[in-house]
Amino acid sequence: MTWTIPDVQPYTQGRVSFAASVSDQTAGSIRITVGTEVDGASYQTEKTVPVLQKNRLTIYNELTGSGKELYENEESVFLVRLWDERGNELAGTYSYSGSREGTMRSGDRLSLAGNEFITIDPADFKNCAYEVTRIEDGNQAAGHGQSGTIQERGSGAWFTRSVQDDSGRQIFGKGETYLLTETTRYSDAGSDAGERISSRFSFTLDENSSVSAIGAYDQETETQIEKRDLLTGEAVAGVTLQLADENGTVIAEWETDGEPYDLSGLTPGQRYRVTEVEPAPGYGCALDMTFTVNEDGAPEQLVMEDRQTHVAISKKDITNGEELPGSTSGGDRFRRHSG
């Protein structure tokens, strides 16, 4: 069977229904394959549908809609009860087969995933009454044939749940070029600082909506340099720093303000030198710091640490070298630390 549906617009939905007859020799289920062709592109989906069996009860947990693949593993629970012709609840155990196999008693609860089914055999009992209740789980499902009598040709209780794929989508145009950006979130950083652009590339769609060209974009390197007190770990402001490349060419010079200084566009794999031109008041100059930018362009943070200066002055007796009492004065402690 073939249907032609003209002028279908993106994001629109529709339904096609058909009925098929099966012979008495048909097994417990049939598989239906549906193919869709749009602008030369083919798509295919399959569905297994149970077939009623003589003097048996079939329970079908049907899942429909564009989101059926997303929710097919979610299970629904059904309470099943059976009575004989006199209204007595059946005792004993009864076998079932289909998507799952096992035995059950009247009053048992059975679980079925999306589009699964089972067929229950009440053994030698004829014209049994039945009732199938879907246990409430917050999902809406339409029930059909939930109670009645098991007919000679077989009876069925089926429950239909329609689910939609609400994932975000973007409509692309033929012949258009798009830029795809990948952002990586780092768990050891804050919500803003922890997000970095890790990759970019462009692609172009041809007239058949196939990708015809892919272009790569170089990732710009990101480097942060900050100045901290070695002992307290606090940021140090008022320090003049200078960045030079391997050839000694000065690339940047700045005064620290207590926040990391951002340097973008440094060459991956190249060595650079940070020089402290003028220290902050109360600090000595740190040794130069050299570093190599990551080859893969991954962001990095460099910390240059200083210690406060300290100068001690004392007076000694020139004749015996002993320190004179009350003659010691303290200043700043002077130490240098290379980051």
Specify the pLDDT at position 303.
83
Q: Using one digit for the tens of pLDDT, what is the confidence trace for 114-169? A: 999 999 999 989 999 999 999 999 999 999 999 999 999 999 999 999 998 877 66
Residue 18 is predicted with a pLDDT of: 74
- Cβ atoms within 10 Å of 68's Cβ, excluding its own: 19
| Confidence (pLDDT) at 199 | 67
Nearest to 306, CA basis, from 226, 224, 223, 242:
226
Same fold, 54-162 and 222-306: yes
Write down how long the chain is.
339
Q: Is the per-residue pLDDT at 198 higher than 50?
A: yes
Helix (H) or strand (E) holding 95: strand 94-98
Question: Is the whole-model pTM more than 0.95?
Answer: no
CATH tag, 54-162: 2.60.40.1140
Tokens for 207, please give them: 């007239």
Overall average pLDDT of the 2-25 stretch: 73
The architecture that CATH gives domain 222-306 is: Sandwich (2.60)
Rounded to an integer, what distance in angstroms lies between the CA atom of residue 152 and that of residue 122?
12
Residue 282 pLDDT level (bands cut at 50, 70, 90): confident
Distance CA 323, CA 155 (A): 111
CB atoms within 10 A of CB 186: 12
Average pLDDT over residues 22-41: 77
Q: Where are the domains of the chain?
A: 54-162, 177-216, 222-306
pLDDT given at position 38: 73
